[in-house]
Structure formats: C-alpha cells, structure tokens
Amino acid sequence: MAAAGAEEEAAAAATTAEEEGRREGTRESEGECGDEGDSDSSADGEDEEKENEAEIQRLEEQLSINAFDYNCHLDLIKLLRQEGELVKLRRARQKMSELFPLTEEIWLDWLKDEIRMASESTDREKVYELFERAVKDYICPEIWLEYAQYSIGGIGEEGGIEKVRSIFERALTAVGLHVTKGTAIWEAYREFENAILETVQPAAGSIPSPEQQQTLCAQLEKIHTLFRRQLGLPLLDMEATYAEYEEWSEDPIPEAVIKNYKKALQQMEKSKPYEEALLVAETPKLAEYQAYIDFEMKAGDPARIQLIYERALAENCLVPDLWARYNQYLDRQLKVKELVLSAHDRAVRNCPWTVGLWNRYLLAMERHKVDHQIVSENFEKALNAGFIQATDYVEIWQAYLDYLRRRVDFTQDSSKELEELRSAFARAVEYLKQEVEERFSESGDPSCTIMQNWARIEARLCNNMQKARELWDSIMTKGNAKYANMWLEYYNLERAHGDTQHCRKALHRAVQCTSDYPEHVCEVLLSLERIEGTLEDWDAAVQKTENRLARVNEQRVKAAEKEAALVKQEEEKAEQRKQARAEKKASKKAKKMKPGDKRKVEDDDDGEWGQEEEAEQPSKRHKGDGDSARAEEEVEDMEVETGLFGRSTPARPAASSKQKEKAAASRKEAPRVLHDSAKDNVTVFVSNLSYSMADPEVKLKELFESCGEVVEIRPIFSNRGTFRGYCYVEFVDEKSALQALGLDRRIVEGRPMFVSPCVDKNKNPDFKVFRYSTALEKHKLFISGLPFSCTKEELEEMCKAHGNVKDIRLVTNRAGKPKGLAYVEYENEAQASQAVLKMDGLTIKENVIKVAISNPPLRKFPDKPEAGRASQSMVPRQIYGAAELSSQWCLVHYNARAIL
C-alpha cells in the first residue's frame, strides 16, 4: 500500500509539472500568435505570406516530379513550420521520413511540435510511436533523453513507472556507452529514481512499517546499482560520478566496485586521444572515426564497436563506404536479425543511389529468411532509387535473379518459383532494353550476361536446351557474333548439354562470323572433326578454315601495308618540315650577314647556343617531331609579329629600340648555365608564360617568394635574347618547391601559368604530370556546352542551389581562353546526383548544357610505331581498351584450351 501511495504521489507531482509546462507552452504560443497577427496586419507581412504560399506550391510540385529531392523536402518543411501549417507540416514530415532517415535536428523539431499539440492520452500514444520511429533512424543520445523525460509525464497511468524504467534501460543499452554523452542518460535515470526515493521516505519522526522499510531498501538498492553500473564504464567525468557516489552512499564503496572503476578509468585514458581527435577535427572526421573503430576492433567489445560506427554514421550518413563497412561487420560478427536488417535498411535509405548497398540488403534479407514479398518490394524500391550508371541496373537485376534462382527446386519439372524466375529474366531483359537504354543510351549489358545466365540455367538445371539455343541466338543477333569468345561460350554449353550436330553447326557459323580471333575458332572446329567427324566432315572443315584464314591474312597484309604507308608519309612530312626550317634559318642569317669575320663568329655562337638550348629545354615540350616543329614555328611567328626581324611592326622610338637591343645583347653575351639535375627536388619548371613578359626574373620572383626563399630564377631565352616562355625556379628547400606546385594554373598576364616538378624526361620517359583525377568521381560533375562568357561566379550561383559546392574549375586552353567546359565538386554523391537530375539540359545564355557525373576517359599515350612495321593482328572491336583486349585474349585462350 505504501509503495502504491508513493507511486500515486509521484505521478501527481509529475502530472502537475506537465500541466504547468503545457500552460507555459500555451502562453508562449499565444504570444507568438499575437506577434504573427501584428506582422500579418502589415502589407509587407501579407506579401511575404503570398510569396511563401507560392513557394510551398512550387516545392510540392517539384516533389511530385522527383520525390527523392532531399533539399526540397527540407525547404518545404521549413516553410510549412514557419507558416504554421500544422496538418501539411505533419504530412510533409511523414513523406520525408518514409524515404529518408531523418537527422537528429529534424526529429527533435517534429517531436517538440507533436508534444506541444498532444492533450489526450491517445495523443500521448501517438507521440510514443513517433519516438519509437525516431530512435530507429540513428542512435542519438539527445532523442533518447527527450524520450525518457517525456515518458515521465505518463507515470500517473497504469504501469507508468515501469514504462519509464523500461525506456531508460533501453536508452542505456543504446547510448549508455557513449563516452561523451552517455553520462547525461545515467544522471537523468538516477534523478528519476531519487525522485521516487523521496516519495517513499517515511515522515519525520514516524516509524516505518516493515513493508515501507522493504520498499525503501529496494529503492536505495536501485540507485546503488545505477551508480555501480555507471562506474564500471569508461565515460567522461568518471571522477565526478565517483565523488558523487561517495557523498551519496552512507556505506563504504565495495572493493569490487572500486576495482571496476579503476579498470574503466584506465580504458577511458586509452580512449581519450581518439575522443580529443574527434573534438578538434573538422567535418567529416572520417579518418578520426576510422582510427577509433580500429582501436575498438582490437579490444573486441561488439557494443562499443557498434556505437562508434553509429556515431560516425550520424555525422556521415551519406558516405556509402562507411555504411558498407558497418553492414559487413554486423553481417559477419553480430548476426542479430533485427540489428542487421535495420542497419541495411537505413543504409539504402541514406544512400539509395549506391547499388552495392542494395545488393548487400537483398543478401541479408535472404540470409535471415525474410518473407519473399518483402524482398520483392525492396527490390522494386531499388529499381526506383535512381542509379547513376547503366551497369548498376544490371548488377541489381543479377542480384535479384540469383536470389530467385536459389528459391527454385529444380528437381520438379515445373513450379511457381521456376515460373517466377523465368518471368523475372524476361522482365530484366526488357527493362534493360527499354528503361535503362532510354535513360543512358546503353543497356549496360553489351555482352548480354543476364541472357547468358538464363541460358545456362535452362540448359543445366531445367534440361531445356531448345530454350537455351533460342536465347543464344538472340544474344548473337545483338552484335556479339563477331567475337570468338561468345561463340566458344555457346559451344561449351552445347558441348556439355547439347549434341554434336549443333556443336558443328555453331562452329561453322563462328568461322564465318568471327572477326577478332578467328584462328581459335578454326582450331576448335578442326579438333572437333578430328575426334568425332567423318572424312567428309574433316574435308569440309579444312576447306572452310583455310579459306577463312586466307581471307583474314589478306586483310591483315593490306592493313599492315596501309599502316606502313602512313608511317612513311609521316616521316617524309617530318623531314620536309626539318628542311624547311633549316632553309628558313639559313635565309635569315644571310640577310643579317656583314662582311668580315663576323659570319664565322655568328656561326660559332649559333652552334654553341643551339647546344645549350637543347640541353636546357625540357623534353616535355617535345611530343613528337610534328609538335616540335609547330612549337618552333609558333615561336618564330611570335617573333615576326613583335617585329624582331623588322617586319610588320610600326616605327618605335629609337631609345626604346636601343634599350631592347642592349638587353638582348646582354642576354646573348651572358654565360649559359646548364641545369643541375641534382637540384631537381628543390626546383620547379614553369611554362606557358607570355613571350612578351618584361623582366621575367623580377615578375616571377615576386610571385614565388610567397612559397619560400628563392635561390635563383633562370628564364630561357632564344639565340637572339628573346624570352621563350618558360624558366626554372630554384628554392632553398624541398618544402618550398612542393608548395610552389600549388601555383599551377595561376593566371599571369592573361595566361594560365603551368608549374610542374622538375624531372629529367630522358631518365624518366614515362613521367606525366596531370593534377586531376582520371577515375570516376561520383561527387563531381562534368558540364559541357557552357557559353564562353560564363564566369565561375555565375556557375557557382547556379550550382549551389543543389548542394554545397566545394570547388569549380573552368577548363581553358593554354592561352587562358574558356573551352565551354567545367568541373563542379560537391560535398557528397547525393548532392551531385541531385544536381545532374536538375541541371542536365538547362539553357544558359541560349546554350543547352550537358551535365553528367565526372568519369573521364583513360588518358592514352600511344608509342610512335616504328617505320615499316605494322600491326600483326586486326582488332576490329574498337570499344575495348588495352586492358580489356588483354582480358578478352586470355579468356579466348582459356576457352580454347578447355575445349581442346
């Protein structure tokens, strides 16, 4: 009875406090309404309200077109909350929560709004349901604390105190190990139990009954237990908790508790460096979190490892690799169904564009025997997730088809599961042909891997070779008949599950159609006839293969002759250019020649300078004889235009002319210093400078001194003393030289200056400098078709509407003129994907732009072919890169060897 009375008293106190809080909230709400009324009375307020309504309508229409627009959801919720549209606001939040896990801030705003409006017990239950959804999205201590504190208001209901304790216990399980924020949950729990303790204390001067004494002791033991549990965990401010326990407890602290406390304190000291690193690190803190996870992995406590992963994901929810590592850990280590499936579900809701996460989710559902209907529904969600590559759709279809295949019992001739599998294969082929090809202009499956798998299943598992042949016939009609590897794949299948007649027919067709490696197909055909064929079959095969190979060799000879002719033609052109330059140089010398010995002196000087120029000029400026010729012609043209030879130049003051002649003469007379390759590590090579730059040493020294102490700047001049547009900059230390590389592409006198490491190309012929990534970058966009007048600021203004823009690079030519191309880097993949959907096809200043995820083609540097030597094989399949051709060649060899 005493316990019941105590609970009722505590419930009454809590209910009174809640009513006071509700009345206070009502007064605040009324005050806000009054302020809004004053604002609405003004004309400006009415105009703003109309603008907001129009914007709300626009956002709703936008979401009806693309429901996965995350930023659009946020803007709509913000406007509806500002306008007080509570019904629409609730609906908007509901829709967003169905598509995405909500952040801690969004959930707290939503929960506070719902708590403010809750008045009846039924409303309280709805708030409880909302809290349950909130704690599933992310493990957030603030939401759990809010949940527990809200539940205290319901202790007056039946079982209210036990419900509060249940929520606190769940909160401790979820976030009680949080090093920096877990203490708040423990303290709130103890405060609640202390409040209960106050209600069961006997009145002053009264003697408690045995029942009251038992209740009091039980409550004291609850608080003791909470202190002891907390002191056994490595949490922030453990010392303060220990001191509080010493003060609160009337009895000495047990030795076992002190031992656990010291052990936890030591563990806390080990964790402190990682917590401090997180405290000072800048977002996204991925490296710091990964180091923390690796540390906890060594300790091996699953609860702590899970918590660190959850903390990292709360701050980096849009990083697919982090989700993948977390899910892999859960799949392989914890293997708890609810936990694993919840993490996979949150992963695909956060990063729906990442096909790898969907594949892992399908496998996890199959592994934990989730109902087939739910698996199929999630697969349909994956198809609507908006992948950014055609191959992603092939991958998700293949994962789903593998799942369906594992459900089929092939010992039965026919079953519902088998029909579903066949239907799914047919739908996959049609989907790739219609939906994917329409969006990406390719199916993503040029080799028809899905149809090949279908044919193998029909032949091997269903014993339906006729269907397999029909499928392979369809595969060959899709442009694959010219590849030997495809024919050998079909032959292997026919050999294993078909008959000799169809094998022979397939190989005869292969000999006629194959254009990449016909020798292998011919070899397989002859091997078949040698083992199983009659004399007539052998003669027919020999005749057919000889005729085919004769035609192939004839085509190869013609191709080789054509290539040799092209090489010879290029050599002749190079020789002609070389002679033309020599004649031009000789004619210029003849015009300037004077009587006496001066000619001999000039000839000697010219030879010496020419040698020095050849030594000093880096090989990066020579990409071949043709390029070298063009470079020298450009220099000569520049000299003509600036009047170095006395042509095409207006008369200038004599003093200026004399000064230039004097400066040029001094440069010619100055001793030449060859570059010391031992100083490459402290030297940078600077090129693409203006030929007309006056005093390049002075101009560049001002620029490069910002990177460190400059020892020397050596501009390279021509034989006549004119600046050649490039130089060497030598620093005191290597650190300064590395910092100077950051000045690459800096605009100097209207041209982008190129700054690169100083490398001897004769010793390192394969050295290439390219500062930008050539791989797929899902967070970066490539934009083409921009008007040349488009500035970086204009492009940034347009792009930032779809996310946080980290960098923008407008592509220019060597003269600094725009090429109508740009690269835009966003914070994450989600923002980049959103920008592609919104910006592709936009019209800017009458130009229609194209926007795609940055995926540059491989930079190819082909070697110059030797004269008179041609390629020994025809490779008609131009879509393959070098690595793919090598892979194709090996695969053909493997198949041929397997057959033989």
Please answer whether residues 565 and 868 qualify as being in contact, where contact means their C-beta atoms are separated by less than 8 angstroms.
no
Residue 581 scores a pLDDT above 80: yes
The band of 654, judged by pLDDT with boundaries at 50, 70 and 90, is very low
Please answer whether residues 880 and 886 qualify as being in contact, where contact means their C-beta atoms are separated by less than 8 angstroms.
no
Predicted local confidence at residue 404, as pLDDT: 97
Predicted local confidence at residue 846, as pLDDT: 82
Predicted local confidence at residue 667, as pLDDT: 57
Residues 6+ apart with CB under 8 A from 17: 153
Please answer whether residues 691 and 715 qualify as being in contact, where contact means their C-beta atoms are separated by less than 8 angstroms.
no
Query: Which tens digit of pLDDT belongs to each residue from 553-573?
Result: 999 999 999 999 999 999 999
Predicted local confidence at residue 611, as pLDDT: 37
Determine which of 18-32, 457-471, 723-737 has the lowest per-residue pLDDT on average: 18-32
Predicted local confidence at residue 803, as pLDDT: 83
Predicted local confidence at residue 668, as pLDDT: 54
Query: Which tens digit of pLDDT belongs to each residue from 438-471?
Result: 888 888 899 999 999 999 999 999 999 999 999 9
The band of 32, judged by pLDDT with boundaries at 50, 70 and 90, is very low
Element (H, E) at 809: strand 805-812
Please answer whether residues 898 and 524 qualify as being in contact, where contact means their C-beta atoms are separated by less than 8 angstroms.
no
Predicted local confidence at residue 8, as pLDDT: 42
The band of 17, judged by pLDDT with boundaries at 50, 70 and 90, is very low
Residue 598 scores a pLDDT above 80: no
Query: Which tens digit of pLDDT belongs to each residue from 660-705?
Result: 555 555 555 555 656 677 788 889 999 888 888 888 888 888 889 8
Predicted local confidence at residue 898, as pLDDT: 44
Peptide bond into 141 cis (omega under 30): no
Q: What is the mean pLDDT of residues 527-548?
A: 94
* Residue that wins the pLDDT comparison between 766 and 142: 142
Residue 870 scores a pLDDT above 60: no
Determine which of 8-17, 187-196, 235-244, 356-365 has the lowest per-residue pLDDT on average: 8-17
The band of 79, judged by pLDDT with boundaries at 50, 70 and 90, is very high
* Coil/strand/helix, residue 731: strand
The band of 765, judged by pLDDT with boundaries at 50, 70 and 90, is low
Predicted local confidence at residue 702, as pLDDT: 85
- Dihedral sign for Cα atoms in the order 305, 306, 308, 309: positive
* Coil/strand/helix, residue 844: strand
Predicted local confidence at residue 634, as pLDDT: 39
Query: Which tens digit of pLDDT belongs to each residue from 804-841?
Result: 888 898 888 766 778 889 999 988 887 887 788 778 88
Cα–Cα distances in angstroms (integers) from residue 897 to residues 118, 356, 523, in the given order: 76, 34, 10
* Residue that wins the pLDDT comparison between 513 and 33: 513
Strands in 805-812's sheet, in edge-to-edge order, are 805-812, 818-826, 777-784, 850-854
Residue 182: exposure state from Cβ atoms within 10 A (0-12, 13-18, ≥19) = buried
Predicted local confidence at residue 119, as pLDDT: 75
Beta bridge partners of 710: 731
Residue 645 scores a pLDDT above 50: no
Return the percentage of the chain with pLDDT > 70, whole number.
79
Spatial separation of the C-alpha atoms in residues 654 and 847, rounded to whole Å: 50
Residue with tokens 């899970």: 306
Predicted local confidence at residue 688, as pLDDT: 87
Predicted local confidence at residue 745, as pLDDT: 83
**Closest Cα partner for 851 from 799, 792, 774, 806?**
799
What angle (nearest 5°) sits at the alpha carbon of residue 750, between those of residues 749 and 753? 75
Predicted local confidence at residue 777, as pLDDT: 83
The residue type found at 84 is G
Spatial separation of the C-alpha atoms in residues 666 and 613, rounded to whole Å: 17
Beta bridge partners of 754: 687
Q: At what angle do helices 104-117 and 141-152 cross, to 10 degrees?
A: 10
Q: What is the mean pLDDT of residues 409-428?
A: 93
Predicted local confidence at residue 42, as pLDDT: 56
pTM of model > 0.85: no
Residue with tokens 């249940």: 166
Predicted local confidence at residue 660, as pLDDT: 53
Predicted local confidence at residue 34, as pLDDT: 45
* Residue that wins the pLDDT comparison between 646 and 217: 217
Residue 484 scores a pLDDT above 90: yes
Return the percentage of the chain with pLDDT > 90, whole number.
47
Alpha helix ranges (H) inside 443-534: 449-456, 465-475, 484-497, 500-513, 518-532
Residue 707 scores a pLDDT above 80: yes
Residues 6+ apart with CB under 8 A from 813: 819
Predicted local confidence at residue 764, as pLDDT: 64
Residue 222 scores a pLDDT above 60: yes
Predicted local confidence at residue 838, as pLDDT: 78
Predicted local confidence at residue 605, as pLDDT: 41
Residue 73 scores a pLDDT above 50: yes
Average pLDDT of the chain to the nearest whole number? 81
Residue 399 scores a pLDDT above 80: yes
Residue 657 scores a pLDDT above 60: no
Element (H, E) at 254: none
Residue 385 scores a pLDDT above 50: yes
